Structure 1
Amino acid sequence: MRSWLPAACLYLLLASTVQADEPIVLTVVDGALPKSLTGTAGNADAGRKVFLTRTLGNCLACHQVSSLKSEEFHGELGPSLDGVAGRYTEAQLRLIVADPKRVFDDTVMPAFYRNEGLSRVRPEFVGKPILTAAQVEDVVVFLETLK
């Protein structure tokens, strides 16, 4: 009986610390997310990196950006992002990146900052957003440079 006791204690400890992620709640006001997800402004250079990195945002796979013409494989599925900062406010861009279906009903763009109500999610990613709140803020600041 004593031989299984340490194993049982370890199991209970692990079981009590592994919890489902809390649902991400986005407070949308007039079709936008007016408040920063982190409470601070993002970094445009970091946002550019997220935008281009295939394992993160991978935005260039679907969108074209003239100022990034040196980068390969611009997509044509989504609209060009040239001038996007003139078409949308910072708060609107934040919602578009975080949860685009709240803005565009028929978009195939993934929700980058949502962790529930999604379909076809690989088991290791269930309950986790694609980007962190800080990465969303970084991408938003980068998109604001595209005037």
Structure 2
Amino acid sequence: MKISFMMAAAAGLVSSGAFAQEIAPTAVSFNEGAIEHSLSGVPGDPVNGRIIVGDKRQGNCVACHEVTDLVDIPFHGEIGPMLDGAGDRWSEAELRGIVANAKIMFEDSMMPSFYKTEGFIRPGNAYTGEAADDTFGPILSAQQIEDVVAYLSTLTE
């Protein structure tokens, strides 16, 4: 009886996504530039996403984008579109695809691919200015992508 209860509880956890696995950068499936499913299997944290978007050592999104909500961070760029209203312009799946690899949806985009590990010419080690080494990975982790998507989804007009 005890064993069958534990098996039922474990089955419930698996079906609920509690044991969801992270999707590797090389296994991401795009649908017209969008990524339908979470990369981490864990809901994004918009508070942490806000930090990543403004942090010049993490996402550094403000290097190219303006975000009114981040007015306290100086030197916003004007190369990319303003992110105000991003949650209205794009779905969560589209935002996830854009952040992971904008070039899939927007072929001529200058935006870096934040969740990609292959297909580069002379990759660097994130924002360090150093060449890639054996620890080369994506610029942002799967959970960081989910956090940024959660934050961008809050930017509605």
- Shared fold, TM over 0.5: yes
Task: State the SS of the aligned residue for 1:91.
Answer: helix
What is the match of residue 59 of structure 1? Answer: 61
Question: Does 1:134 pair with 2:143?
Answer: yes
Match of 1:101 in 2: 103
Q: Per-residue displacement from partner, 1:33-89 (whole Å, max 9, x unpaired)?
A: 010001121100111111111111000010001122222011011110110110100
Name 2:26's counterpart in structure 1.
Answer: 24
Are 2:152 and 1:143 aligned?
A: yes
From the superposition, tell whether residues 26 and 60 of structure 1 become closer, same or farther in structure 2 (CA, over 3 Å).
same
**Larger radius of gyration between Structure 1 and Structure 2:** 1
1:78-117 aligned within 5 A: 78-117=80-119
Distance 2:107 2:119 in 1: 15
Decide whether the 8 Å contact of 1:115 with 1:126 is kept in 2. no
Identical pairs, percent? 44
Please give the root-mean-square deviation of Cα atoms over the aligned residues, in Å. 1.6
Q: For structure 2, which runs of at least 5 residues remain unmatched after alignment?
A: 1-23, 124-130
Evaluate the alpha carbon distance shift between residue 29 and residue 23 of structure 1 in structure 2; reply closer, same or farther with a 3 A threshold. closer
Cα distance in 1 for residues equivalent to 2:139 and 2:75: 21
Letter in 1 for 2:139: I
Where in structure 1 are there 5+ consecutive unaligned residues? 1-21
In the TM superposition, residue 138 of structure 1 has moved relative to its aligned partner by 0.3
What is the distance in 1 between the residues matched to 2:133 and 2:51?
24
Residue correspondences, number:
126
User: TM-score w.r.t. structure 1 length?
Assistant: 0.80
Contact 1:85-1:145 within 8 A present in 2 as well: yes
Structure 1 contact 47–139 (Cα < 8 Å) conserved: yes
Whether the aligned pair in 2 keeps the contact of 1:116 and 1:127 (CA below 8 Å) is: no
